[in-house]
Structure 1
Amino acid sequence: MEWGFPSYLSEARIAMETLFVSPFISSESWFQKWAEGRESMASLKDFGLKGRAMCKESLNEMKELVKESESPYGIRFEGDNENEMVLEWNGTPLVRVSAWM
C-alpha cells in the first residue's frame, strides 16, 4: 500500500493498513488456524483432478503488477507442478490461487 499512496497521505495509508492488512498479518492464531485447515482439507487430487501448471508469463505479469523489485509484495509458484500462485507481503502469504483440470 505504501507505494500507491503519495507521501502527504501517509496517515491515510497507515489507517488503511491498520484496518485491512494488520489483522491478517499479525494474528498468530489466524495463521495457526489456517495451517490446520489446509492440512485437514481434502486434496483435489483425491477427487481425480490434476494440477495444471501456470505459465511463466502470468508470473512475470503479476510481478510487474505488484512492483516486486520495489515493494514488500512478492509472487511465487508452489504446488507439485507449479499449479499454485501465491501473493506474499514481506514473506507472509496473503492470497493463494490454484489451477486444476
Structure 2
Amino acid sequence: DLTTQLSGKKNEQRSEKVLMHFPHAHNGSYFTSYREGDWKLIYFYNPELPQHPSYELYNLKKDPGETQNLATNNIKRLREMVEAMSTQLEAEHAQYPVDANGNVLKPFI
C-alpha cells in the first residue's frame, strides 16, 4: 500500500536499512552494500587476497555524491556498520563468495 507515500507523508513504517549483496562477480567485483540511516557501507570481498578486503564508507546526508570515503577516518563507525551488515547477512542466510580453496569469505574488519 503506497497511500502514505503518494499523499506526500513520511511512511514511519519504512525501514531505514537497505542491504544489497552480490556474492558472485558483478561487474568484476564481489561486494555487499549496506545503508543504515545517513550512512552507507560498501564492502568489497577479495577472493584472490581474502585477508585484504576493502571498504568504502559514506555519510550520504553530507556527501550524497559519495565522493569522500570516510572508512579510514572513521574506524568506529566502519566497525559498527560492518557488524550491523554481518548481522543482517546472517539473518538473511546469505551466501558468501569463496576463495580459490573454497573457503567462505565473510565480512570482517
TM-score range, shorter chain: under 0.3
Structure with greater proportional helix content:
1
Q: TM-score, normalised by structure 1?
A: 0.24
Q: TM-score, normalised by structure 2?
A: 0.23
